[in-house]
Amino acid sequence: MSQNTYLYEQLAVERHQDIQREMANRRALANLPPRPHTIGRHVISRFGALLVVLGTRLERVEPRRGQVARSIDVSV
C-alpha cells in the first residue's frame, strides 16, 4: 500500500510541475511584443473598415447633391 501512495505522490508532483511550466510558458508568450505581420494585418483591416464607412457616407451625400443641382436647373 505504501508503494502505491509513493507512486501517487510522484504523479501528483510531476503534474504540478507540468502545470507550473505551462503557466510560465503562457506568461512568457503573453509578454512578447506583437509580431510585425500581425500589426500590418490590423492596420490594413482598420483602413478597409474606414474605406467602407467613407463609401457609405459618400453614397448618402451624393444623391442630395444631385437633387440640389436638378432643383437649380428647374427653377432657373
Residue range 32-50, pLDDT digits in tens: 887 777 778 888 889 999 9
Q: Which residue has the cell 506568461?
A: 27
**Dihedral sign for Cα atoms in the order 22, 27, 33, 39:** positive
Q: What is the predicted pLDDT for the residue at 67?
A: 60
Does 70 have pLDDT greater than 60? Answer: no
**How high is the mean pLDDT of the chain?**
81
Does 51 have pLDDT greater than 50? Answer: yes
Q: Which residue has the higher pLDDT, 53 or 1?
A: 53
> Domain spans of the chain?
1-32, 36-76
Alpha-helical regions (H) of the chain: 2-30, 36-75
**Dihedral sign for Cα atoms in the order 33, 35, 41, 47:** positive
Q: What is the predicted pLDDT for the residue at 76?
A: 46
